């Protein structure tokens, strides 16, 4: 495992995260795991509208947006916007963000999946 991790340019944990991403969505999921970019204004507006509509007033989780990553304030949950337009749920485990499920076209769906049970 260490040789494989080294050959991929990752440590053992990094390889495990990459494998998990691949299992959830192949190359698109790997890109989301490894890259950051600025969302276009129209994608940002659509996401905010979708999230606002999905919860009653005052019930929507507070999100802190940084580039294509939206982190739930006070929770170990995050959304990442893919270049393909889908939203990928992430969860913090042992201090690192890891893929937590398959992508969804709707950010509210992805957020609900990763925050269920919190």
pLDDT in tens, 63-95: 999 999 999 999 999 999 999 999 999 999 999
Q: Which two tokens stand for residue 27?
A: 């190359």
Q: Looking at residues 9-16, what average pLDDT do you find? A: 77
CB 5 within 8 A of CB 14: yes
CB 114 within 8 A of CB 90: yes
Structural domains in the chain (count): 1
pLDDT band at 7 (very low <50, low <70, confident <90, very high): low
The H or E element that residue 101 is part of is none
pTM: 0.88
**Parent domain of 54:** 2-115
pLDDT band at 19 (very low <50, low <70, confident <90, very high): very high
pLDDT band at 36 (very low <50, low <70, confident <90, very high): very high
In this prediction, residue 72 carries a pLDDT of 95
Phi, psi of 70 (to 5 degrees): -115, 115
CA-based torsion, 101, 92, 8, 32: positive or negative: positive
């Amino acid at each position: 495992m260490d040789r494989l991790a080294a050959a991929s340019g990752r440590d053992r944990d990094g390889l495990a995260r990459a494998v998990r991403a691949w299992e959830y969505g192949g190359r698109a999921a790997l890109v989301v795991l490894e890259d950051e970019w600025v969302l276009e204004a129209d994608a940002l507006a659509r996401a905010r509208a979708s999230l606002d509509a999905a919860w009653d007033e005052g019930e929507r989780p507070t999100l802190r947006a940084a580039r294509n990553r939206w982190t739930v304030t006070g929770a170990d949950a995050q959304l990442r916007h893919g270049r393909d337009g889908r939203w990928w749920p992430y969860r913090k485990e042992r201090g690192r963000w890891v893929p937590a499920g398959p992508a969804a076209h709707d950010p509210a769906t992805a957020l609900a999946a990763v925050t269920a049970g919190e």
